[in-house]
Amino acid sequence: MTTADRLTEPAPAPRTARPAKRGAGPAVRRRPRTVRSGRRRRRAVALLYLLPALLPYTLFAVLPLLHTAYLSLFDWDGVTLPSFVGVDNYRRIGTDPQLRAAAWHAGALILFFSVLPICVGLVSAAIVSRRAGRRGTALVRTVLFLPQVIPLVAVGILWRWVYGEDGTLNQALRTVGLGGLTDAWLGSFTWALPAVGLIGTWVVSGLCMVLFLSGTQRIDQEIYEAARMDGAGPVREFTAITVPLLRPEFAIALSITVIAALSSFDLIYITTGGGPGNSTVVPGILIYRLAFGGGAVGVASALAIVLTVVISLAVLVINRLSREAP
């Protein structure tokens, strides 16, 4: 069968018969067929439509992933002959103290990349949606979303200036008479991780707000009107209507931000490189160090696979939870 024949098949949905767009269909279409084979053909057509997306996805995502899984079974420095070591690399991961630290930090980053941005996004969405149409709202919305469009590397460089010894933050502290609180934030064992985390909060909050904003627009205004008739104020509206009805958006926001937290790399690489000491080391940094600096491609691959599995599980759990009825 030629490609042209397949393309003239009706689209799988809607199921109702549709008049053929082209004049007379090819003879092949009039041949009597079983329902099952018709469905099979429609599947094939659907796959054909998917091909332009599926092909690059397979080439650039699925195959490299499989390749990484394969490499994780070897002791390989990236140059010389690899030697097969089975699951040894995975065992090494389990016993590495640096890795334990990295796992903790990734966990802490969920607070800054997910929990905080979702709270900030929710509140700002509530405020912006109530002010819709008034002057300045569009500007506020744009400003809040702006960090999302700046490349993370640029964000990192920007915030290095903010957090520097003579940076904006310290200058602000000195201006308001709190000069005693200044610090070289990214070089502090106590503050480096929260400092990097807050950059993440700043970046992701706008995205969460836009998600929630589109969610609130989906909510039927009559529900709000009914609530108002019952005497509900803005806070009550927010807790009783907006939050529960935004469940799907919550799931999306949580999935995206948890992935960002667990797979974080560029922001930390630019701002602290994992330091001071190991205080901001995350799995992404370790993978990079091991693979490209340390000549331990096998261990790095194993770590990457573990990270992929953990992230997939996290997203799976989030989606399961969000599907349950409120």
Residues that bind other proteins (CB under 8 A): 36, 39-40, 42-43, 47, 58, 62-63, 66-67, 70-71, 74, 76-82, 163-165, 183-189, 272-278, 288-289, 292-295
Residues 159, 270: Cα–Cα separation, whole Å: 10
Q: How far is the CB of 210 from other proteins (least distance, A)?
A: 32
> Exposed/middle/buried for 116, CB within 10 Å: 0-12, 13-18, 19+?
buried
Supply angle C-alpha 66, 300, 68, rounded to 5: 10
Provide the minimum distance between the beta carbon of 43 and other proteins in the complex, in angstroms, as a whole number.
Answer: 6
Nearer to other proteins, 112 or 163 (CB): 163
The CA-based angle 13-14-16, given to 5 degrees, is 130
Gap between the Cα atoms of 137 and 122, Å rounded: 16
Residues forming a β-bridge with 326: none
E strands, 76-234, are 83-84
Residue 96, both tokens: 């590495």
Select 76 or 113, whichever has its Cβ closest to other proteins. 76
Closer CB to other proteins, 127 or 158, in the complex? 158
Q: Which CB sits closer to other proteins, 146 or 316?
A: 316
Between CA 192 and CA 24 the distance in angstroms is: 70
Nearer to other proteins, 43 or 100 (CB): 43
3-state helix, strand, coil in the chain (%, to 5): 70, 0, 25
Nearer to other proteins, 143 or 189 (CB): 189
Residue 41 or 130 having the CB closest to other proteins: 41
Q: Which residue has the tokens 């009783």?
A: 240
Q: Provide the CA 22 distance to its chain's centre, in angstroms.
A: 43
How does DSSP assign 67-100, residue by residue? HHHHHTTEE--SSS--EE-TTHHHHHHHH-HHHH
Dmax (CA) of the chain: 86
